[in-house]
Structure 1
């Protein structure tokens, strides 16, 4: 996606107005549409599953809502699914705690699939995976990625998948995973954001990852 997180939010608000939805507004001197979105996606990254909460003042059937949104949305921004949730469900920001990234690596020596799996196993068996996080307008910070990776696997030659913490509990950036791996395995070449896909953001129950609209999370 080549627009920023804030620009996506502005675009969503315009779409709601064009669709003439009965949106609810916040109170105060500067009312805003009651909209909550999932964890930010870095500019340039591809995503297969993003979510937002929207409060309405009148009920609209999910299928009708999707139809009205897609009718007025830009060509490359489409809405796929809508689910009605109860008022007592936790906010999206407090529910979503896991992001799953697929990263395509290229190498200077073309390891076999078995060798890639050995590399990942060795990486994940490390006692700690320390990196320096560079922060804007703040001092650099050392963090242990090991504590923030829930699962990892090699999907196919050159394609690895990582399930990592995101949201209010912290986050893991794909470039940090790449940097940590490249420090351990110099044969991994530099990469661009186009080699990263955020497969989706999920709720981690400790055993499985669920989308926020799953019955397991919101009930029937």
Structure 2
């Protein structure tokens, strides 16, 4: 015959286990949300960095890019922060779709975005596609909003030190090297060929 005390003890243990499991699940969801940007849904800097490191460790061929929205401040100044938020949210959705299942996108803050993707023979064309994608208008409360995007990218395999930190530095230099030359943000540069900008294929130097 089952001892009532034993049954009570088992039920108590199960209740405690269930309570801890629920608590752990809620804690995990809170931690997960803390690593996501609430506006765009992209990974924040810390969350993105951890995932980018894992991708680089698994794949010898990877590329890191930084994208900065050109003309974003006037959108905020003229149309308000809600319009600016709509542009940022659209940029996040487009970057996520562009990355696909084998890449990871993040938002570093403001209007600056980051991504790590697989480096392949189509990377140059894909970067040009991203520049065009981020230039597409955003409709917000009956107003058409348009920004550009300066993009700098770095192939890990082309760097003397194939690390995430080195790739971010190279991509950042590439982005700011062309940012002052752009009109509506329609250029991009693939690091580390800074000095050879004029020799890059035309598709990498989209006409301003």
Do the two structures share a fold, i.e. TM-score over 0.5? no
By percentage of residues, which structure has more helix?
A: 2
Calculate the TM-score normalised by the size of structure 2.
Answer: 0.27
Structure with greater Cα Rg: 2
Q: Which has the higher contact order (CA 8 A, sep 6+)?
A: 1
